[in-house]
């Protein structure tokens, strides 16, 4: 059988999409992690930030040299970047044979056939219905313990800086029956953790039954599959973190006590320009409610530095909200213009690059400090950890994550991948808890 090599860049949703693609092509190709033996290489792309696109272009040039050595090799581009600049890519990137947008993966066999005949082919049609809910993903690159389950696709928020609504289309939710079937199947096959995915996962809503099912209701149903199945979710929008959802997370021990809640900026003025539809006060009220119901919660966020018109005071507002919330971790970036967004069309990218860089450095430095402080508070505490694998630094140690999504390392001893173990934190870094195995309390 021919060999398929998939390289995935960007978000968790792209990882899940690659697993769907592997399933669609399973009758034609078997997966290989060796690019040199591949007959087909697929690059699953992210288009959220400019540096992500530049990295993909560099990778395509590298693969072009591989193609010169193997003229039968086909190279295809998938995902958001393919959707955003399809004609430009096919013209400029000579290594490319075909491209497929995020809603076109079912047509891959046809696109590959056309490309094998020397035809440049593409399909980037966005769908109002496609959720791939009847395709069982092939989890070819996982640990056999944790899995992603996409529960919806697309986004209706239209933040002014974001390209996602234009590359992945409008929101549509997946049939809960297929979600529960997939989660149950994973648990029965040894998986012990699922992460429910969506561009705006907590706006999930299934209306095609007598009783509409919202995200809190879906989370509850997944949690009830088994108390041994951990449930996570990503990514949330602050406008949809309802009291019902917060209370559901608090109610079930196997719903992980971790919420990724992107703030983007601590300035209400900047948030308005971003069309985030909440202000600083609303966001902090949601944080307060979360901490009230779930005292053991760990919070992470996304922060975008140097957005259009951002003043030094706006930047200081971001630093201050970071201190007030005390994030355990954060994804931090500086703003880059994405053509096709409302910001590109209507706002001026007027913050100089050196200012963006300096502000981002301050944000990163503060978060490093906050992460270390947050982890230091855990020293002496005992946590239940799901064992995920052997530590990269020592084969005498294992690693896993707490409910709060914090990585722990601990002596290997008798621990096996997929076990739940109890550990006591003895020291830490900003990114890792150093622990020892203990008996359950």
Whether residue 339 is predicted with pLDDT greater than 70 in this model: the reply is yes
- Domain chopping of the chain, boundaries: 2-123, 382-438
How does residue 70 score in pLDDT terms, banded at 50, 70 and 90?
confident
Give the per-residue pLDDT at 86: 67
How far is CA 35 from each of CA 39, 43, 64, rounded to the nearest angstrom? 9, 11, 12
Higher local confidence (pLDDT), 173 or 441? 173
Dmax of the chain from CA atoms?
Answer: 65
Query: What are 217-231's pLDDT values in tens digits?
Result: 999 999 999 999 999
* Structure tokens belonging to residue 289: 């409610």
* Structure tokens belonging to residue 334: 């500086």
Higher local confidence (pLDDT), 70 or 145? 145
- Taking residues 344-373, report their average pLDDT: 97
Give the per-residue pLDDT at 65: 85
How does residue 359 score in pLDDT terms, banded at 50, 70 and 90?
very high
In this predicted structure, which of 130-134, 254-258, 273-277, 363-367 has the lowest mean pLDDT?
130-134
Which 8-state DSSP code applies to residue 221? Answer: H
Query: What element of type H or E holds 283?
Result: helix 280-293
Query: What are 299-336's pLDDT values in tens digits?
Result: 999 999 999 999 999 999 999 999 999 999 999 999 99
Whether residue 361 is predicted with pLDDT greater than 70 in this model: the reply is yes
CATH class of 382-438: mainly beta
Rounded to the nearest 10 degrees, the angle between the axes of helix 312-325 and helix 353-376 is: 10
Query: What are 195-247's pLDDT values in tens digits?
Result: 999 999 999 999 987 789 999 999 999 999 999 999 999 989 999 999 999 99
- Taking residues 55-71, report their average pLDDT: 86
CATH architecture assignment, domain 2-123: 3-Layer(aba) Sandwich (3.40)
Torsion of CA 139, 140, 142, 147, to 10 degrees: -10
Give the per-residue pLDDT at 374: 98
> In terms of Cα–Cα distance, which of 113, 32, 127 is closest to 76?
113
Q: Cα–Cα distance between 102 and 119 in angstroms, integer?
A: 21
How does residue 92 score in pLDDT terms, banded at 50, 70 and 90?
confident
SS3 for the chain is CEEEEEEECCCHHHHHHHHHHHHHCCCCEEECCCHHHCCEEEEEECCCCHHHHHHHHHHHHHHHHHHHHCCCCEEEEEEHHHHHCHHHHHHHCCCCCEEECCCCHHHHHHHHHHHHCCCCEEECCCCCCCCCCCCCCCCCCCCCCEEEEECEECCCCCCCCCCHHHHHCCCEECCHHHHHHHHHHHHHCCCCEEEEECCCHHHCEECCCCCCEEHHHHHHHHHCCCCCCEEEEECCCHHHCCHHHHHHHHHCCCECCEEECCCECCCHHHHHHHCCCCCHHHHHHHHHHHHHHCCCCEEEEEEEECCCCCCHHHHHHHHHHHHHHCCCEEEEEECCCCCCCHHHHHCCCCCCHHHHHHHHHHHHHHHHHHHHHHHHCCCCCEEEEEEEEECCCCCCEEEEECCCCCEEEEECCCCCCCCEEEEEEEEECCCCEEEEEECCC
How does residue 289 score in pLDDT terms, banded at 50, 70 and 90?
very high
Query: What element of type H or E holds 56?
Result: helix 50-69
Whether residue 75 is predicted with pLDDT greater than 80 in this model: the reply is yes
How does residue 39 score in pLDDT terms, banded at 50, 70 and 90?
very high
Higher local confidence (pLDDT), 419 or 46? 419
> In terms of Cα–Cα distance, which of 332, 360, 337 is closest to 348?
337
pTM attached to this predicted model: 0.93
Give the per-residue pLDDT at 425: 98
Whether residue 148 is predicted with pLDDT greater than 70 in this model: the reply is yes
Q: Do 364 and 358 touch, CB atoms closer than 8 A?
A: no
* Average predicted confidence (pLDDT) for the chain: 93
Which 8-state DSSP code applies to residue 133? Answer: T
What DSSP string runs through 64-88?
HHHHHH-TT-EEEEEEHHHHHSHHH
Give the per-residue pLDDT at 48: 67
In this predicted structure, which of 123-127, 160-164, 178-182, 183-187 has the lowest mean pLDDT?
123-127
How does residue 85 score in pLDDT terms, banded at 50, 70 and 90?
low
Residue for token pair 């978060």: 367
Give the per-residue pLDDT at 50: 67
- Pairing mode of beta strands 433-438, 407-411: parallel
Residues with Cβ within 8 Å of 365's Cβ and at least 6 positions away in sequence, in order, are none
Whether residue 163 is predicted with pLDDT greater than 90 in this model: the reply is no
Q: Cα–Cα distance between 99 and 120 in angstroms, integer?
A: 9
* Structure tokens belonging to residue 18: 């690659």
């Amino acid at each position: 059988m021919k060999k398929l090599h998939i390289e995935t860049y960007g978000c968790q949703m792209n990882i899940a999409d690659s697993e769907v693609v592997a399933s669609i092509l399973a009758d034609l190709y078997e997966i290989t992690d060796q690019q040199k033996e591949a007959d087909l290489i697929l690059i699953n792309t992210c288009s959220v930030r400019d540096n992500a696109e530049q990295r993909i272009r560099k990778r395509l040039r590298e693969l072009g040299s591989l193609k010169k050595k193997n003229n039968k090799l086909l190279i295809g581009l998938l995902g958001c970047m393919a959707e955003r600049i399809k004609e430009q890519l096919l013209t400029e990137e000579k290594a490319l044979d075909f491209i497929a947008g995020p809603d076109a993966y079912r047509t891959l066999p046809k696109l590959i056939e056309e490309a094998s005949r020397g035809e440049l082919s593409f399909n980037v049609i966005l769908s109002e219905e496609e959720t791939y809910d009847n395709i069982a993903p092939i989890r070819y690159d996982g640990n056999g313990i944790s899995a992603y389950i996409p529960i919806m696709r697309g986004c209706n928020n239209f933040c002014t800086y974001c390209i996602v609504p234009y590359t992945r289309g409008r929101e549509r939710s997946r049939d809960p029956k297929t979600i529960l079937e997939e989660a149950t199947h994973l648990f029965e096959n040894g998986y012990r953790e699922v992460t429910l995915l969506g561009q705006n996962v907590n706006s999930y809503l299934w209306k095609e039954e007598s009783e509409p099912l919202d995200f809190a209701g879906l989370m509850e149903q997944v949690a009830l599959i088994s108390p041994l199945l951990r449930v996570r979710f990503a990514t949330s929008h602050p406008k949809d973190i309802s009291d019902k959802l917060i209370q559901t997370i608090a109610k079930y021990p196997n719903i992980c006590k971790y919420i990724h809640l992107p703030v983007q900026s601590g300035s209400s003025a900047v948030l308005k320009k971003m069309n985030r539809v909440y202000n600083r006060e609303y966001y902090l009220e949601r944080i307060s409610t979360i901490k009230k119901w779930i005292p053991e919660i760990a919070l992470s966020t996304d922060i975008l530095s140097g957005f259009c018109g951002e003043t030094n005071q706006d930047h200081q507002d971001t630093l201050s909200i970071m201190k007030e919330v005390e994030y355990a971790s954060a994804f931090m970036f500086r703003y880059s213009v994405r053509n096709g967004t409302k910001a590109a069309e209507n706002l001026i990218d007027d913050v100089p690059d050196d200012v963006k860089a300096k502000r981002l450095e301050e944000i990163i430095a503060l978060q490093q400090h906050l992460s270390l402080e947050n982890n230091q508070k855990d020293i002496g505490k005992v946590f239940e950890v799901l064992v995920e694998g052997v530590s990269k630094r020592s084969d005498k140690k294992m690693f896993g994550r707490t409910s709060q999504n914090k990585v722990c390392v601990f002596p290997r001893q008798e621990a096996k991948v997929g076990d739940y173990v109890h550990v006591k934190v003895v020291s830490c870094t900003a990114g890792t808890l150093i622990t020892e195995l203990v008996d359950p309390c």
